[in-house]
Amino acid sequence: MHWVWTTIIIAVIVLAWVAYDVLQKKHAILHNFPIIGHFRYWLEAIGPELRQYIVTNNDEERPFSRDQRRWVYASSKKDNNYFGFGTDNELESSPNYLIIRHSAFPLSDPLPGEDDFDPNHSAACKKVMGATQGRAKAFRPDSIVNISAMSFGSLSAPAIEALNRGAALAGCLHNTGEGGVSPYHGKGGELIWQIGTGYFGCRTADGRFDIAQFRDVVQSHPIRAIEIKLSQGAKPGRGGLLPAAKISPEISRIRGVPMGKDCASPASHREFSGVDSMLDFVERLAQESGLPVGIKSAVGQMDFWYDLAGQIHETGRSVDFVTIDGGEGGTGAAPLVFSDHVAMPFKLGMSSVYRIFRDAELHENIVFIGSGKLGFPHSALLAFGLGCDMINVGREAMLSIGCIQAQRCHTGHCPAGIATQNRWLMGGLDPTDKSHRFANYVVTLRKELLQLGRACGVPHPCDVELKHFDILSDAFGTTSAKELFGYRWASNA
């Protein structure tokens, strides 16, 4: 008889445990994988010690190392994000290692005369986007850190909602990605609407651009700017790709595409075929909406950029912003060879493009935005030194809302409920709780950027220049970043 009672008691405990895991709202992994999900947390807790002796070190995993992920997780939970005992990086035997040159007389934080403690650690863009071209709705973005393009479809509804609510809390902009504007983008955060080659949300039945729908969408949503997507770093030369497994009835309706087969956007735009017609398209969208209009591109053949700067100079038509995405950038799904080998990495791409616009003296007229693993204080600061006015964060934003770098975005089986349309998996992601995590991460990143800038002796992170950086080489050498990236002007600005 005893064994019957023992079995009943064990069954009740297991069921209660399952119910608790499923109903709690803090951890998507536990909701989606009751009981066994705890193993992840147990292993995570003892993992560093295990891995330290058996598998990888703190700086080894890719795309994001354990140190980087730990910093994002701790920042997003407002936990202690400090590291003890000193760096475990090999400074002297790591060529290309970045060194930030601090000032002997750092500025105080907050600056004298600055209001007392600002819990949001606000850092607005130094330029007014759209001002040079006199766009009716030119504006100064409130944050130098914003959310990179990631579509509804590629990401789940609760993930988009968490990011959009988080954008409102942190006072930053939320780029929709090329999948159109969804109801989950309407939770308080302001938007940059990205328009890709599929023209989702402003598309005729045969896949061309539809100006009437464009006007309607702009008028009915809090859209602050339009980004025309030429390419992204992880798959330049290929259009967007949403695998069939991720196309729900809702996504099929929002995008105007059939279910059951991959949704592949064309490789290039049908509304323009060169720089001249692209600038016409930019002006058309800007005149129709009054909004600033920019482009997003990875950097490949340079004749495009020379041509663009040349035509802006000669004709007066211009993009209001340029988003440069590095080849190391992320994606929901892409052929490996495109992710691994096509397009320049961010630092090379950004510096090559910026030099062209700087030489043409157009650099002050355009807002430069960078992306490609820039969601960390040191890499973001270097991006500002290279001439960026703002940076976008994609996968780092995903980490902040619970991504565990499972790298399964392309399968639709994201265990954290972020890059999936599976109801069970996304049911574990509480958008309200996670919105705070994202906002905490952005605020912490801005805080550390302000601190870094002031350690270099400048009040705003975008005031840093390449003279504030050195790159270590082998044989105990060092090269100034200014020399390395070919910035030959007295100052970057």
Ligand X SMILES: Cc1cc2nc3c(=O)[nH]c(=O)nc-3n(C[C@H](O)[C@H](O)[C@H](O)COP(=O)(O)O)c2cc1C
Positive/negative CA dihedral, 376, 381, 382, 384: positive
The reply to whether 177 sits near ligand X by the rule CB under 6 A is: yes
Pick 243 or 461: Cβ nearer ligand X = 243
The reply to whether 327 sits near ligand X by the rule CB under 6 A is: no
Helix, strand, or coil here: 116?
A: coil
Q: How far is the CB of 283 from ligand X (least distance, A)?
A: 22
* C-alpha closest to that of 456 among 466, 464, 447: 464
Cα(320)–Cα(291) distance, rounded to whole angstroms?
Answer: 9
The answer to whether 184 touches 161, Cβ cutoff 8 Å, is yes
* Tokens 């950027």 belong to residue: 449
* C-alpha closest to that of 489 among 369, 323, 364, 302: 364
Q: How far is the CB of 431 from ligand X (least distance, A)?
A: 17
Q: Where are the alpha helices (DSSP H) in 229-345?
A: 249-255, 275-289, 303-315, 336-341
The reply to whether 164 sits near ligand X by the rule CB under 6 A is: no
The reply to whether 141 sits near ligand X by the rule CB under 6 A is: no
Q: Name the amino acid, one letter, at 220.
A: S
Task: Using CB under 6 A, pick the residue from 232, 289, 339, 435 that binds ligand X.
Answer: 232
Task: Using CB under 6 A, pick the residue from 256, 372, 415, 461 that binds ligand X.
Answer: 372
The reply to whether 373 sits near ligand X by the rule CB under 6 A is: yes
The reply to whether 235 sits near ligand X by the rule CB under 6 A is: no
Helix, strand, or coil here: 397?
A: helix
Q: How far is the CB of 110 from ligand X (least distance, A)?
A: 28
The answer to whether 217 touches 181, Cβ cutoff 8 Å, is yes
The reply to whether 375 sits near ligand X by the rule CB under 6 A is: yes
Provide the token pair at 145: 């850190």
The reply to whether 436 sits near ligand X by the rule CB under 6 A is: no
The reply to whether 331 sits near ligand X by the rule CB under 6 A is: yes
The reply to whether 421 sits near ligand X by the rule CB under 6 A is: no
The reply to whether 236 sits near ligand X by the rule CB under 6 A is: no
Interface mask toward ligand X for 192-231; x: CB under 6 A: --x----------------------------------x--
The reply to whether 466 sits near ligand X by the rule CB under 6 A is: no
The answer to whether 274 touches 378, Cβ cutoff 8 Å, is no
The reply to whether 425 sits near ligand X by the rule CB under 6 A is: no
The reply to whether 154 sits near ligand X by the rule CB under 6 A is: yes
* Tokens 């709705």 belong to residue: 137
**Residues forming the site for ligand X (CB under 6 A):** 148-151, 154-155, 177-178, 194, 229, 232-233, 240, 296, 325, 329-332, 371-373, 375, 393-396, 409, 419
